[in-house]
Amino acid sequence: MKFKEVYFATTNLHKFKEAEKIFSKYGLNLKHLNFKTAEIQSENLEKIAKNSLNQVLSQHKIPVFVEDAGLFIKVLNGFPGPYSSYVFKTIGLKGILNLLGKTRNREAFFLSVIAFGSPSGEQKIFTGKVLGKITFKIRGLGGFGFDPIFQPKNHKKTFGQMDVEEKNRFSHRAKAVKKLVKWLLFKEKL
Ligand code: IMP
């Protein structure tokens, strides 16, 4: 690998476990940095991720990445998108289901943006996206956040009904993490 050790700065252990599983599949050991960043308000996930990364790097001189994700719902013109965290805390899953009501068009996607940086100043962005739909009901107890109401395209289960391995086969985060791992291992041009 390009670096001896790589850290994932997050307070979300679900996110860490998802990423750790992918790293270990490629024979890499991922370290956890429990670091809470002050998330800036922006309509752009990449800007949020880069800002968070720089907060971490200002205190830790290590190869590290942060990840920021959002749920974008088509009939709501992309809402909650970058405001997903606030919306989850305030109206939650039921609030989203109420907003959609009986609407038939329930298309949505998750977007994940990883910002990686090293003490040498090198910075890279990796993204992953998964298309799917918002279910009519909360289904499943697994995962976190909006997992129990998000069903990836061409699959019957919600992310909330999948274990980490299965979610990793489709998820936005898994796609972004795989790109990062390949770059770390092979310095692939992406
Ligand atoms: P953040 O990346 O932690 O800012 O996530 C924004 C919001 O989206 C939070 O409320 C998360 O719970 C939710 N979220 C992020 N990633 C996922 C996911 O993989 N599944 C379900 N919800 C997610």
Q: What is the pLDDT along the chain (190 residues), one digit of tens a residue?
A: 778 899 999 999 999 999 999 999 999 999 999 999 988 888 899 999 999 999 999 999 999 999 999 999 999 999 999 999 999 999 999 999 999 999 999 999 999 999 999 999 999 999 999 999 999 999 999 999 999 999 999 999 999 999 999 999 999 999 999 999 999 998 754 4
Q: Which position among 48, 68, 172, 175 bears the catalytic label?
A: 68
In angstroms, how far is CA 59 from the centroid of its own chain? 23
Which pLDDT score is estimated for 189?
47
Nearest CA to ligand 1 atom 9: 85
Q: How far apart are CA 62 and CA 3, in angstroms?
A: 10
Residue burial 66-87, b: 16+ Cβ < 10 Å; e: rest: bbbbbbbbbebebbbbbebbeb
In angstroms, how far is CA 154 from the centroid of its own chain? 20
- Cβ partners under 8 Å of residue 181, min gap 6: 22, 23, 26, 28
- C-beta 84 within 6 A of ligand 1: yes
Give me ligand 1 centre to Cα 190, in Å: 24
Q: How far apart are CA 132 and CA 157, in angstroms?
A: 11
- C-beta 18 within 6 A of ligand 1: no
68 is catalytic: yes
Q: How far apart are CA 3 and CA 184, in angstroms?
A: 7
Residue with tokens 């013109």: 77
